[in-house]
Every structure is written in structure tokens, then in C-alpha cells.
Amino acid sequence: MTSVHSSIPPQIHPAIHHFSCTMCGKCCHNLRLPLDTEEALQWLRSGGKVQVLCEAIPWPAEPDAANGLAAYKHERSVAAMSGELPVRVVITFVAAFEGACPHLRADMKCGAYETRPRVCRIYPAEVNPFVPLMPQGKACPPEAWSTSMPRMMVDGALTDAQTVTLVRRSRQAGIEDMGRKALICQHLGIFVGALANEGFAVHSPPATVLEDALAVVNGMAIDATQMQQEWIFLTNRSPTLAALQAAGALAIRPGDGLPDTIEYLAFHGDE
């Protein structure tokens, strides 16, 4: 079987992960589930809530062609400017819910099993080839990872062909969706993003507005090249704010006159 994690150095993977789902339902609570644009439209049409998570990566120059991680990020982002600083913007649509997923049944089975998002079918495997599988970071209980369970990963490669295919499709959708997502952000006036790896700017446009925009771009092939609008960094850290502004970027702190439809999801405490 071809490894979907072939670009990860094998030494950072334990040789074998055993896993089988215990149907505990923990992974179906308090989530922001990444969705492709088609899934986002379906989620909205079924009455769910979809948010738009934005982050921006300073991109002053193109990295070396041999930099696989940079190439992965480049394919899944769109070029833009923030003041004088070139950036690449990463846009993620998520199904957002507190507590149980609206599709979770009382018996902890999925009530939308046939149409559930791809990420639900992949979990607890990772989509990003640069993120190793870490059982301790997953919601699954220890017994799900017992060595008595079937082998899920061997030397960084998933053993289940169906999951391998789903991961490939998810990565491809991440590339193909960028133009559609960029167009939607431009259309909805979304142009605030967190500095990548420090948090997310979370945008909650009205469901009907987002649904209409998704319906227009659904299935369209849209080139993701340069976004017209300037992007603004959102950060809760003074050193980050100062560094971005010194680099010529536009940057603000949460509370600096942001509309109610934007919140900051911080990975670090305020500084």
C-alpha cells in the first residue's frame, strides 16, 4: 500500500499504532469540524452553523523548492498583501457546535452517517502529512489504542485503504477549494486573519448569506491567485503586534473596533 505519510521522516512515528473505535462519542462534542466547500453548503442546508477561520502567514519571498512543508502550505493558501508585507492567507470553513453535534444520537451513533463530513470518516487519522498521529492528543479513550486492536498505522502509513483514499481526497479538496474560499471572503468582506500558529480569526457571517455565496461557487473551478483586498492581522500579543507593524503589515488587537461577527481564538494568553 502506498504511504500517505511518505513525506514524514519515519523516525518521528512509533512503528505501529493499533486502533479501533469504541463508539464513545467523545469526538462528536464541542468541535470546529473542518469542511470542504461542498460539505459546508450541505451543513448549512441541514440547519447547522458554519464559521470561517482565517490565518495569515508572512510570505516575504518564495521558499526553496525543496521545502516540502512550505509547498504544502502554498498549495492551500492564497497570496495577498497586508500593508507592505506579502502574506499567504489560509481559509478554513468549519462546522461549529458546543456540546454534542446536532447529528449525534442518544446511542452515540451518527445520525447523518451516510453524509457525515469527510473529516469524521478520517478521525483519528491526520490529514496533514506534516502532523504525526499523537493518540494522547485525540479524544479516543486508551482502550481504543490497545494493542489488541487492529493495526491502524505501520511506520507512518495507514493500513486501511478507504482511509488512505479519504485522506487523499481531503488534501486535494484543500487545494481545489482555495479559489472558491478566496472569492467568498472577498464577496463577504472577510479580510482579518490571525498570525498562523498563534490563533484564528473566527468569522461568523449570517448563515443565509454564507449559504447563498457557497451555492454560487459550488462546483466552480476558480483560480486562487492574488486576493485583491488587503488583509489585517489580529493578535493578542504585543511582541507580535510590534513585529508585524515593523515589517510593514497591518495589525490590530482584539477589541480594536472589531465587529461582533469576528472573534479571536487565541492559542496563547494575552501579552
| Sites of contact with ligand SF4 (CB under 6 A) | 21-28, 101, 103-104, 110, 112, 116-117, 120, 123-124, 139-140, 144
At 93 the three-state DSSP class reads strand
Query: To the nearest whole angstrom, how small is the minimum distance from the Cβ of residue 102 to ligand SF4?
Result: 7
What number of other Cβ atoms are within 10 A of residue 114's Cβ?
A: 5
Min dist. Cβ of residue 118 to ligand SF4 (A): 10
DSSP secondary structure of 215-268: HHHTT------B-SSPPEEE-S-HHHHHHHHHTT--EE-TTSS--TTEEEEESS
Closer to ligand SF4 by Cβ: residue 25 or 205:
25
Q: Which is nearer to ligand SF4, 120 or 210 (CB)?
A: 120
Residue number with CB closer to ligand SF4 (28 or 91): 28
Least distance (Å) between residue 29 CB and ligand SF4: 8
Closest approach, Cβ 119 to ligand SF4, in A, equals 8
Place of cell 469526538: 27
What cell numbers appear for 38 in the block?
461542498
Amino acid identity at 177: D
Distance, first Cα to last Cα, the chain: 48
- Sheet strand arrangement including 16-18: 16-18, 151-154, 157-158
Q: Which is nearer to ligand SF4, 27 or 194 (CB)?
A: 27
CB of 110 to ligand SF4, least distance (A): 3
Environment class of 12 (CB within 10 Å of its CB; exposed 0-12, middle 13-18, buried 19+): exposed
Q: Which is nearer to ligand SF4, 70 or 140 (CB)?
A: 140
For ligand SF4, give the closer residue by CB, 112 or 265: 112
Within 8 A by CB and 6+ apart from 260, the residues are none
Residue 243 CB, nearest distance to ligand SF4 (Å)? Answer: 37
